[in-house]
Structure formats: structure tokens, C-alpha cells
Structure 1
Amino acid sequence: MKGLDLAALQAYLDSPPLTGTMFAGGRSNLTYAITDGVNRWVLRRPPLGHVLPTAHDMSREHRVLSALSETGFPVPHPVVLCTDISVIGAPFYLMEHVDGTIYREAADLELVDLHSLTLTLVDTLADLHALDPSAIGLGDFGRPEGFNERQVRRWKKQLDASRSRDIAGIEELHARLAVDIPAGGPGSVVHGDFRLDNVLISSDLSVKAVLDWEMSTLGDPLSDLALMLVYAGRPLLFRDGKPVAPIDLPGHPTLDEMAARYAERSKRDVGDLHWYVAFAAFKLAVILEGVHFRYTKGQTVGTGFDTVGAMVPALVEQGHRALEGH
């Protein structure tokens, strides 16, 4: 299986024979379902040929899952961390397998109360931001001071490391974002990629587990909110094989409703999110450009990567429009 040597993993765990399959839908870290016939786990490892190692730090993911699982926040419980790359060729960790549904198809979402589900996601994000990092052992997990300024620099660095083509307007967007960067308020644990298909949902539409913590740190919680809003408006779901935006589905709350719900739950001021939304669009454009870069280098595993690059220009345009007040 590409990216995972099951025989080597079995020897490392000293376990009965293992079988595994790769989860579909991931665009960055590789995720596999593993079983010995009795127990079920999920294994996470960095992507093949990744270009920004700090974005794929297995130790950080394992640490934040460990801390959050102790608070009762819905995350999978981590089981094993291995930083020895000689085992499978990369660091990895195992976590418990959590049963639940990941919604990626519009037809599935049209069968549930999408309004209630979306607001539950908003509540879950606000609950994450309500946790005291120091009280849960994550006081040194990041530096909230100057977070937004560092993020602007960091994602420009990632863009420069993932160049395979010219993208109209992206340099100008970065330059505009680098002016009048919000200082941000008190920091919190931020997920860094919070969206519908990074969450496992139960049959009663409660959140069973929030997944994919590879970009988590301590920072400005409004960055998480803005990225969730950008994701809601982007065509990342599918209907009959064609992309569709969650917000275009029946029952989905408006972006204003989502922001107001977050403000009510978190007691934070969300009155001016224009810069945050613009930066979220830039960040997502850079993430997808990185995926496109790895696809052109033959370093992706799975299907669907051939369409990712086409999403980038619209995000750049959205970023400019947000800075202009839209």
C-alpha cells in the first residue's frame, strides 16, 4: 500500500497480521484505517514529498489530541506516537477509530437538518476556543502574540515553496494582507483547518470527533471562524460528480447567521471579519496550490487531485473582494 508498509508496522507493534485501507478525501497528511481483526485504529503520516515539514508534525498532532481528549472535547484518543522514520519511512501516530459520518456528498446532506448541523459545528468551534491552553497543558503550544503577522509570512513562504505556475493576483493579495494586520485578542487553541469534512458526525447530528489537527496551534480564534466561513462558500462538496458549495444546499444558514451564532456562543466581537476572510481565502489558495504542486510532481496518493489547481484563482479573487468590503 503506497505510503504505508504494513509488514513493518506489524513488526513495530508486535501485533497479529494487519490489514489497512487509505481514507479518501485527504489532501495533505495521509490517513489509513488499520485493523488486526479485533482492534481498529487510524494511522496518520505526512504526505509524500511534503515541502513544509512544520505543517506535518506528527508529534504536535499527537500532543494536541492527547490534551484535548483529556478535557472531553470530541477528538479521537491517541494510542501510539512513532518518530523513528526507519519504521515506515516517516513519523506516524495511531489513534482510536471513531465511528461516524464524514459528509462529502451534497445528496447526503440534503437528507439531514443541515441548518442544525452547521450551527452545531459553529458551537463546537466556539467550545474549542473557550478552552484555557495553560489549564490543559498547551500553554507553550504556540505564540498568540503576533500570530496574524507570522501567518501572513508563513503562508507566503509556503507559496514560494510550492510554485509551479503563475497565479494572477496572488502576490498582490499577499501584499495587501501585509498592511494593517489585526493584532488579535487573547489567543486560544486554533484548529487551522476547521470545516465540515474534517468532522465525524453521529446519527443524531452531534459531533463525534474533530479530525486533522496538523495545523493546530495557539493563535487568533477569528482565523478559524473566517476559514470555516470561506469553506462554507467554496464548492468542495459534490453532487453527481460536480462540485457544489455547502451554502448553496437547502437549509444551510447564511454566513451572517454562522458568525452571529459564534459571537453568541463565544462572546467575541465578530463585527469586522474582512481581513480575516481575505487571509483565509489566501491561506486556502496556498494550501490547494501546495496540493497541486505535489500532484504535478507525482507525490499525491489517491484520486481527485487533478481538479484542485483550478480552485485557486477563485480564492485569490475572493480574498481581494473581501478586502474591498464584500
Structure 2
Amino acid sequence: MSGTSGSATDVLTRAELDAVASVMAAARTTPAGPLTSRLISGGKSNLTLRLTDGERVWVMRTPPRAGRTPSAHDVVREFRVVAALGPTDVPVPPAVVAYPDEDLIGGAFAICEYVDGSTVQSREQLARLGDDQVAAAVTGLCRTLAALHRVDHVAVGLETFGRPDGYAARQLRRWGGQWQIVGEHQGAASHALAHRLADGLGERLPEQRATGIVHGDYRIDNTLLRIGGEADEAGEVGEVEVAAVVDWELSTIGDPVADVAMMCVYRDPAFDLVIGSEAAWTSDRLPSVEALAAAYESEGGVGLHDFDRHLALGYFKLAVIAAGIDHRYRAGATHGEGFDTAGDAVAPLLEAGLAQLR
């Protein structure tokens, strides 16, 4: 995987790197020499490190050294779905090994092979692509998501990866419970909106007609793109394809329609406020929600039954996520820039969810 460069300082000590190399060797991937590491991204959850022996390159995911919460940062679970998808048509980084214990480096870790690709996270990065390249990237994204939803999760060994039924009800309970924790500073108007939306969803939950693997956080910046050259004089552009889908932390077994809806909800301009910057995925150069949903269906995805209700649930989820970021910002638990605007997104997202129910 490739990504935004982080600190050049090694996160792992020499002894820890040697221990990691031993685990890799036991999995029949023996480094040719001593490993070195470099932080690719600190992320908002797990650390992503680049490992190399001077000849080959791998990527490691491991929880942060401090500030971990009990149910988060499960890199071994993330590895499990990536390993299961390896033999399928869904492009994922080739899995190497996962180590579930904390005795070697202070936390569990998972290692995959490096995938050469480009990340398109910001509006500035998207601007480097021509219109035909953007269109090709969107087609690849929809084709890949449809391929994911066609995978038989039982056949690939993920029968116990999540409960197959009642996905929307479980999501509503989960995010409604989160709102009770993080929504305290959002004001009376937002509280009223949240309760109206939650109550409305409770009365009109979408019906689940399909079951499959749900990524849970699917959009352009959670993929690596293999991008060809710029347009030539004849207007031809280099090939654009999805090299790998990454960041499987929220994946589970559930309703594939919810995955498509969440992808579309992220297109809302309020998402820029949530992340504190201009995201590539909110650009008006990308298709509308209606066109994006149609493109997914045209690539052989599941039928988008009760799609408006799924969108409403997705807006509720993103509003709670925004409230959670604002909650941590107000508590002084965030570091860096881009956290101070998330609270401004809460009410617009709740209103958009109610509009979908109407």
C-alpha cells in the first residue's frame, strides 16, 4: 500500500523488528536481511508502517502504542477478511501473517505485501486526474464494490465474521447508543433532530433482502488506484483501475445495500466539515448520488431496495461520527488540525437523513 508519508523515525526497535522477521519467517516469508520500518500513516485508529529488507516491501498494521480502546484497533480481524478475499476477484493486498498477541511489539500486528498504487484523498490530489480518468476510477470503484457483494462469505470462510441478519436494526442500536455518549454538546436543536431521525428509522427500518461482506467505509480514499499517464494528443488516457481495497476495520457481514448507501452519504459536502479538509470524494467532478447508485447496479451489484431508508441510516451514522470527533475535540483528546469543524456537520447531516425519510 502507499499513502501519505509520516515520520521517518522508526516506530519499532531493532529487537522488535527482529521478532517481526521471525514471525514472517514462520509464515514462509523470510526477509532477505534485517528489517527497517517507516511510519506511513498514524491514522485515526491504527498505525500503518512500511517494512523492507532492502529487496522487498511489506505493510504492517498495528494499534497505537497508547490510547487504545477495548473494542477498537482489531488488526487481526481486518487481516482475516483480507486473507479470505485474496483468492476472489476483489483486489486486496496479499496477506502474509497476523500475530494476535502483544508480547513482541506491545500490540497485535498484521502484515500484507506492498501494493504499488496512488491514494486520492484530497481535492488537490483529484485535480491531477483528467475527467476521463476520474470517470474510469468511479467505474472501477463501483465494479469492485459490486464484486465484493457477490462474494459468498460462507464459501471463503467468513461464516462467523458477523451476524447475517438484522443489520439495520443493529446499526441503529449501535449508533443510537453512541449518540447518548457523544451528543451532549450538540445543543437542543440537534438533539431533537437526532431523536426524530432515530425514531423515524425505528419505525421504517429498511428490509434486508441480501447478505454479504460489507466494507463499511467504502470510498475513493480507502482504495489504492493504479493510474496511467495523462491524456495524449488524441485524448487517450492511461488505464485507471483499483489496485487494492484497504482499511477493512469496519467490515462485517450485513446488508450490501447499506454499503452502497454509506458510500453515497460520504458524497455530501458536510463530509468536508467532518474531516476538516476538502475531500476528493465530495468533489462535484464525481457523480451524483443517483448516478453513483445506478453505476453500482449496472456493474452487477445487488438491487438497491429501500435505498432512501438506507441513506437515512447512513446520514445518522455519519452525524454520530461527527459528534464523536467534536466530543473528543472539546475534551482535548485530539491532536493536530482539522477537528474543530466536525460539530458544524452534525445538524446538516441529521437534517439530510430526515429528508431521505420524507
TM-score above 0.5: yes
- SS of the counterpart of 1:93? strand
In the other structure, the counterpart of 2:248 is 213
1:151 to 163, 171, 176: 171
Give the conservation status (yes or no) of the 8 Å contact 1:49–1:294: no
Structure 1: any 5+ residue segments left out of the alignment? none
1:6 to 12, 29, 40: 12
2:293 to 259, 280, 283: 259
Change over 3 Å in CA distance of 1:2–1:245 after alignment to 2? closer
Give the conservation status (yes or no) of the 8 Å contact 1:159–1:286: yes
Q: Which moved more, 1:81-90 or 1:216-225?
A: 81-90
Cα shift readout 1:158-216 (whole Å, capped 9, x = no counterpart): 33344562351223322222222123012001101101100100012100000110111
Give the conservation status (yes or no) of the 8 Å contact 1:43–1:92: yes
In the other structure, the counterpart of 1:18 is 36
Deviation at 1:292, TM superposition (A): 3.7
Partners in 2 of 1:296 and 1:161 — Cα distance?
Answer: 13
Partners in 2 of 1:13 and 1:172 — Cα distance?
Answer: 50
Partners in 2 of 1:277 and 1:139 — Cα distance?
Answer: 27
Q: Which moved more, 1:262-271 or 1:111-120?
A: 262-271
Deviation at 1:291, TM superposition (A): 3.5
Change over 3 Å in CA distance of 1:281–1:116 after alignment to 2? same
In the other structure, the counterpart of 1:105 is 122
Deviation at 1:87, TM superposition (A): 3.2
Structure-to-structure mapping, 1:34-113, within 5 angstroms: 34-46=51-63, 48-51=66-69, 53-110=70-127, 111-112=129-130, 113=132
In the other structure, the counterpart of 2:28 is none
Structure-to-structure mapping, 1:1-326, within 5 angstroms: 5-7=11-13, 9-14=16-21, 16-23=34-41, 26-46=43-63, 48-51=66-69, 53-110=70-127, 111-112=129-130, 113=132, 114-163=134-183, 165-166=185-186, 168=190, 169-203=193-227, 204-234=239-269, 236=271, 243=278, 246=281, 248-250=283-285, 252-266=286-300, 268-270=302-304, 272-297=306-331, 299-300=333-334, 303-324=337-358
Give the conservation status (yes or no) of the 8 Å contact 1:81–1:93: yes
Structure 2: any 5+ residue segments left out of the alignment? 1-6, 22-32, 228-238
- SS of the counterpart of 1:206? strand
Q: Which moved more, 1:271-280 or 1:306-315?
A: 306-315
Change over 3 Å in CA distance of 1:39–1:236 after alignment to 2? farther
Partners in 1 of 2:216 and 2:329 — Cα distance?
Answer: 22
Deviation at 1:28, TM superposition (A): 3.0
Cα shift readout 1:70-117 (whole Å, capped 9, x = no counterpart): 224201122221222243333221222211111122233232322221
Partners in 2 of 1:29 and 1:82 — Cα distance?
Answer: 15
Give the conservation status (yes or no) of the 8 Å contact 2:89–2:147: no
Q: Which moved more, 1:229-238 or 1:5-14?
A: 229-238
Give the conservation status (yes or no) of the 8 Å contact 1:101–1:202: yes
Figure out how many residues of one structure are paired with residues of the other and give that number.
319
Give the conservation status (yes or no) of the 8 Å contact 1:23–1:33: no
Deviation at 1:16, TM superposition (A): 1.8
- SS of the counterpart of 1:63? helix
**Aligned AA (2:172):** V
- SS of the counterpart of 1:21? strand
Change over 3 Å in CA distance of 1:33–1:195 after alignment to 2? same
Partners in 2 of 1:157 and 1:92 — Cα distance?
Answer: 30
Cα shift readout 1:202-254 (whole Å, capped 9, x = no counterpart): 0121000001101111100010000111112335569xx9526645433x222
Change over 3 Å in CA distance of 1:247–1:158 after alignment to 2? closer
Larger radius of gyration: 2
**Aligned AA (1:172):** R
Deviation at 1:272, TM superposition (A): 3.6
Deviation at 1:58, TM superposition (A): 2.0
In the other structure, the counterpart of 2:236 is none
Identity %: 38
CA RMSD in angstroms, aligned pairs only? 2.9
